[in-house]
Amino acid sequence: MSLHNQFLSSLLTEFNPFITTTQVIDWIKERNDVINVSVKKIPFSKLDKWSFDNEKGIIRHDSGKFFTIEGLHVKTNWGKVKEWDQPIINQPEIGYLGIITKEFNGILYFLLQAKIEPGNVNNVQLSPTLQATKSNYSQIHQGKKPLYLEYFQNVINSQILLDQLQSEQGARFLKKRNRNIIIKIDDDIPVYDNFIWVTLGQIKKLITHNNIVNMDTRTVISGIPIDNCVNINLPIYLQDKLLINTFENRMLMSAFDKNASLRSFDEILNWLTSLKCKYELEISTRSLFNLKDWTVTKDCIHHKNNTYFKVIATEIKISNREVQSWTQLLIEPMQVGLIAFIVKIINGISHFLIQAKLECGNFDILEIAPTVQCLTGSYVDSIDLPFLKVVLNANKNQIKFDTLQSEEGGRFYREQNRNLVIEVDEDFPIKVPENYNWVTLSQLNTFLKFNNYLNIQTRSLISAINFI
């Protein structure tokens, strides 16, 4: 069976003899019940091995590894605010976000972990098989080697199903990227405590629940190619399925059809190039102590209006059978956030309304963002943001997906954002501003193969698109 068909059949399969979807949810709940995670805010001075470098104006680890919190000065001709300062996370290492897959009875299963992350609103969520940076698994940490690391380090080309460099939040991270990788193992693999095998269809179903599937799992599975079927005949059961006009089938058609898009792929690329040439992004580092509108106190770095986010120091205690404790920095959001795609049938095919969005930490000026993205500002205050009203006023029939999803719990303190997909009628009038455009799911999938085109919010929403 071809790679694409292997993904496709797993995508369309929710039946799992090992563990049902309901059992997964109960299992996560149970894991959350038996564990106690306490996150206590502490002064910066109580951090272990982390301290201010007063000369450079950064916060760093004694080893010089992991990441630093730095100050950034930003100048741009994009948007309403042309110049500002802010703290940013600088983590130049490329980390692994890796999932091991294996075929059982002809269906591809994904090995996920029930993982505790201190920043999560609930403590345990489903993470990829491996989440690790070089600092994590090299000597610096003096910890144990992460489970399953050797499968990724010894992988041979024919076992790699997907290998992409994808960005993290451009408003919080300076050009950070992770290696999103899916490998397929034929040999027997030990399944350690807290790990389970699930189908892609189950993961998609689990994403319809609040805060079960973590950001890292969502970004990895968003990259799975389900297009490329243009040259092969669809299996009979799919042809039959597609006769029924449901939202899920419209999504499947939008992922498959390469010939009905409003704009050709080259036109979308040209549009992005012209915007990258029009908009300028000039960044320079600046001491955390000299950031305009930001104050460093003994226990946080905050904006003068207490908006955007705070950098905080925390002490983490995890009690289960044994007690673990450590101190670390976290980013605490000060406002609630929302990301949403508006979807509409054009030329008989569902199209997504994307925007080209500049964020200060972007690797290449602009990335493709959802129709509405207000994560770092409060959307209650941003009511004139394009399309926000359409999204907030959507009726029940138009809302195809509406959940709360967590940002990465290793860096962000209890940050969850509302993820929405809204489908409007074919005759719903939408005036498309210069930096917005309509694309099919197939076109989004093509962008996913290349680095730094779709931002992490777009990928989070794509991961939620369900086909069954």
Given the rule CB under 8 A, which residues bind a second copy? 92, 94, 157, 160, 162-165, 179, 181, 225, 266-267, 269-271, 273-274, 276-277, 282, 363-364, 449-451
The encoded tokens of residue 466 equal 């369900």
Give the whole-angstrom CA distance, residue 328 versus residue 410.
9
- CB of residue 391 to a second copy, shortest distance in Å: 27
- CB of residue 407 to a second copy, shortest distance in Å: 23
The encoded tokens of residue 402 equal 């509406």
Task: Provide the 3-class DSSP secondary structure of residue 226.
Answer: coil
- CB of residue 360 to a second copy, shortest distance in Å: 15
Q: Which is nearer to a second copy, 274 or 347 (CB)?
A: 274
Nearest to 255 by CA among 270, 272, 234: 234
Q: Which is nearer to a second copy, 157 or 395 (CB)?
A: 157
Tell me the residue length of the chain: 468
Nearest to 359 by CA among 285, 279, 450: 279
- CB of residue 227 to a second copy, shortest distance in Å: 12
Residues 454, 370 contacting (CB under 8 angstroms): no
- CB of residue 179 to a second copy, shortest distance in Å: 5
Q: Which is nearer to a second copy, 230 or 380 (CB)?
A: 230
Helix H or strand E encompassing 386:
none
Q: Which is nearer to a second copy, 47 or 448 (CB)?
A: 448
Q: Which is nearer to a second copy, 179 or 414 (CB)?
A: 179
Q: How far is residue 233 from each of residues 229, 237, 238, measured CA to CA in Å?
A: 7, 11, 10
Q: Which is nearer to a second copy, 160 or 191 (CB)?
A: 160
Task: Provide the 3-class DSSP secondary structure of residue 350.
Answer: strand
- CB of residue 160 to a second copy, shortest distance in Å: 5
Q: How far is residue 123 from each of residues 265, 322, 381, measured CA to CA in Å?
A: 41, 16, 30
